[in-house]
Structure 1
Amino acid sequence: MMQTQLVVSLFGKLDVVQMADLFEIIQQQNCRALDSHVMTFGSRLEMGLRLSGNWDRVTRVESALHEFAQKHQVEMNIYHEQSPEGREAVLPYVLDAIGLESADIAAALLRFCVRQGVSLREMSTRAYRPARSVERLIQLRAEIDIPTTCHLGQFKTDFFDLCDALNLDAAIEPSRMY
């Protein structure tokens, strides 16, 4: 049976009880939350979800989500997706890098991934000032999918060369999520 997917993005003031209510709405409509991600920015929360179900259940959950967003006065965007047919074989990896705060670290690492034909699944950055330091650091973490056709040893060498050129401490390791 063909499964329809919804990609849902919510932004606003939500607490943990309201987030639990949101997941209950999804379950009540017999849909599944395949992926979810929550981040707080001050008093605001951003939540991303990927839901799956047959088309009539997805239609029902979409209506319920619109009601939820209106009731709690949060911004919401919904995108319809079809389930991926056959995915290319990939190796899931995690890239970590840390160095002096610079706006071009994320851009440089993203350009590197594009040149290597690597897909980005998730990326986050966090700037902070360590204790007893006047310098601000930035930490980057990216979950990527490396095509199995890519030469892994060369990819790692090129990644570490880039990080050396940017003066970053870095690590790459297989993802433990699969």
Structure 2
Amino acid sequence: MKQQLVISALGEDRPGIVEELSHTVLEAGCNVEDSRMTVLGGEFAVLLLVSGNWAGIAKLEDALDRLAAEAGLTLVHKRTAPRPPAADRLPYAVDVVALDHPGIVYQLAHFFSERNINIEDMVTSSYAAAHTGAPMFSVHMVVEIPADTHIAALREEFLDFCDELNLDAVMEPVKG
């Protein structure tokens, strides 16, 4: 029976980290099913969803402890189960751009949390505006909206919320 393991790794950015992690997974007889990797400041961060049989996952758990010590990584791993399909939820993409200021992520998360809307995925970034150099902030997220929600009313409420906070936003169904 297929087992799953979620792995979080954090360490000083350098060439070879992905190779070391993926080699460790392969040597245990497991497979990387899903991943997110990025460099934040001077640190490399990765989330992996790995699958394998029971023995392979157990072997990988032991190997990860050794890899953490040898490679100077902070590693956390946890067994998980496949997520059941959300038949009663509709995936929507939300994109927000604004002048950077504290609290944008919290305000967006609070808006959706109050309405029982799960944030499935989120990516944020800060950058300088092209011509002015003003500090900008962008958020891309995928949310799962309960199927019984009146989408037009939610979209209008969300756009009004964003207007009050001076956030430029779009909410549309995930395509594909």
Q: Compute the TM-score of the two structures, normalised by the length of structure 1.
A: 0.86
Q: Is the contact made by 1:97 and 1:168 (CA closer than 8 Å) also made in structure 2?
A: yes
Q: Which amino acid is 2:165 matched to?
A: L
Query: After superposition, where does 1:9-158 map in structure 2 within 5 Å?
Result: 9-84=8-83, 86-89=84-87, 90-133=89-132, 135-158=134-157
Partner SS for 1:132: coil
Q: Is the contact made by 2:126 and 2:136 (CA closer than 8 Å) also made in structure 1?
A: yes
Counterpart of 2:170? 171
Residue-by-residue CA offset, 1:22-59 (whole Å, 9 max, x unaligned): 22332333323222111102331011112222322211
Moved more, 24-33 or 115-124: 24-33
Distance 2:39 2:74 in 1: 15
Partner SS for 1:138: strand
Moved more, 3-12 or 149-158: 149-158
Aligned residues: 175
Runs of 4+, deviation exceeding 4 Å:
none
Distance 1:174 1:155 in 2: 13
Q: Which amino acid is 1:87 matched to?
A: P
The 1:144–1:30 alpha-carbon spacing in structure 2 relative to 1, beyond 3 Å, is farther
Q: Which amino acid is 1:52 matched to?
A: S
Q: Which amino acid is 1:88 matched to?
A: A
% same residue: 27
Q: Is the contact made by 2:13 and 2:39 (CA closer than 8 Å) also made in structure 1?
A: no
For structure 2, the residue ranges without an aligned partner over 5 or more in a row are: none
